Amino acid sequence: MKEKKLIIVESPTKSKTIKKILKKINPSFDVIASYGHIRDLAKNKLSLEIKENQILPIYVVPKSKRKIVSELKKKVKKYSEVILATDQDREGEAIAWHLVELLNLKNYLRITFHEITEETIKKALLNPRKINLSLVNAQQSRRILDRIVGYLISPLLWKKITRGLSAGRVQSAALRMIVEREREIENFIPQSYYEVIIKVEKEGKEFEAKLFEINGEKLEKFSLSEEKLEKMMIEIEKSVFVEKIKTSITKRSPNPPFVTSTMTSEAWKKFKFPAKLTMSLAQNLYEEGLITYMRTDSTSLAQEAIEKIRNYIKENFPNSLPEKEKIYKTKSRLAQEAHEAIRPTDIFLSPEKTKLQKNHLKLYEMIWRRTVACQMKEALFEKKEIILSSNGYKFKALGQKMIFPGFTLIEKINFKEEILPELKENEKLIIKDVKIEKHLTEPPPRYNDGSLIKTLESYGIGRPSTYATIISTLLQRGYVIRNKNKNLVPTELGMLVNDLLLEHFPLILDYEFTAKMEEKLDLIAQEKLDWQEVLVDFYFPFLEIVKKKTEEIEKIETKIGRNCPLCGGELIEKFSKYGKFIACSNFPKCQYKESKTTGILCPKCQTGFLVKKKNKKNQIFYACSNWPECDFTTNQIESSTNNDSK
């Protein structure tokens, strides 16, 4: 057994894929999965060793990982060499480091690859390295910063609002975005504006033109009043003449290949996939060897990949192959983490040739089409602009047609062909109809997964590995819900938490501060900044602010003018992730509690209250607000029972 080598990866799916490949390369290799991180900070305590000039993590093996750790310790003793093949980003590097530390590995090698194929694994095995501690320290810094913010602010939220709340460093900035957008919508006052459109005819073909100028003055959005419209209807003659015809050729370039943010945004736009689902599907495709690594902010492609894509285009769309390859500039500032954009590992494996089903197939096809399209020629359009004039009123008609499809042969775009009739300058046309369209301005749209990630990226907040987690955390905490259109809407609790944090901890919610902290993590990864210096500089001033605010902030609760039927204490309105409820001010001595909907104390746990829910058959039932801790449910509860009768 001693001559055999062991490869450790994170995922069992990745393990199976690599095993299949290694059977061809070298059957003496064995592969095992660590199932992600094998160590972490303890759950119920700060788990940090705080010194004047140093903050170190205190790691523990979670209960759920003890079995796999025990198995790994036994396994590594049987092999002559251990190879760590976890992912190439900071998270993967940290997992590899934890394995080295916990398993006490002396003779180990570290390999990485951006795609799971025979060629890349062969290359990786020929070019092993040691652990990159700069990447590890960047990951540890993020984990520790998040723990500091969560551990110090969460107890304050418990005291001032309600138990069970928590705050996160990056999630709080995202929550602020969602709350601010919601308030923009709430405060929005719609304004009316008008558009004037004439319908003219040439040889039986009708087309429309829109008013854009009156007596040499260009119209703004709100230029037209009802008085002006009345005057205009009198002054516009029954005919117009063609003042000017302008024809031009425009081109539209293909989009760059996908990075994490654009992939999640496009998957939302096309399929309404939440970011968490998109990343889970992409993870599966990567681990099965079908696409390259899915956590990336680089739009670059390997030279070999570009050549294969161009060969595919040459075989299938020869007229759309440009003379030169297309190079896309990467946005990544990290040389150590810079890797390829998201692309198929084999461009000749078109979607119909795969055995993928449903959502996996949708995402793979989207990635495949974008990758092929990014190396194709631009699409060309002929655009025609016709200016029509009548007594000082000028109207514009726009027409367009595609004259060369280019990349649109493989990736569809939103395009509506508008063919205008052949006209000559000074030609007279009869106005068949004049219509006035009244419009109302609309509020900004609520964020969805795609638009929120795009906004976070524009501010420099979060990184490819964190986008999906940010959204899922806000949903889990009850700070945000999805409406019927799956847009992100802040709850009353989310707004309350946001307002408290924004008033008393503005730095944590400050977009620029959050972005700068991300930049510092990047600099740690590049060995340009000391991770301990960053942690110490943040922790001690922040600790003092929290201490001060804990004394200053008053508890948020509202007296409702009624007394508790059990002990006579004052009843107050409180918050939970399930909504508002009423409880006794003498809690925990008095457990009286009532829901604002049912007012029924749970007969099983006697601390929660019953809330109305609907099942898949649209039937109403009641469940305990302490679910899943309390699993009480019923279909036969009267909604007007009083707590004191229980």
Distance CA 545, CA 330 (A): 39
49 phi and psi angles, rounded to 5 deg: -95, 110
Yes or no: say if 138 and 531 are a contact pair by the CB < 8 Å rule: yes
Distance between start and end Cα atoms, the chain: 68
Instruction: Quote the distance between the C-alpha of residue 453 and its chain's center.
Output: 4
The pair of structure tokens assigned to 254 is: 């293909």
What distances in angstroms separate CA 571 from CA 322, 369, 594, one per listed residue?
Answer: 74, 61, 10
CA distance 362 to 351: 9
Strands 5-9 and 29-33: parallel
Please identify which of the residues 59, 108, 194, 293 carries the catalytic annotation.
Answer: 293
Taking phi over 0 as left and psi of -120 to 50 as alpha, with beta for the rest, 213 belongs to: beta
Integer Cα distance of 336 and 296 in angstroms: 12
Which residue's entry shows tokens 């138990």? 163
Tell me, yes or no, if 293 is annotated catalytic: yes
| CA-based nearest residue to 607, from 591, 623, 619 | 591
Here the tokens at position 85 are: 């093949």
> Tokens 């020929």 sit at which residue?
126
C-beta atoms surrounding 161 within 10 Å: 20
Rounded-to-10 torsion of CA 275, 281, 287, 293: -40
CB 299 within 8 Å of CB 491: no
Say whether the peptide bond before residue 27 is cis (omega within 30 degrees of 0).
no
List active site positions. Answer: 293
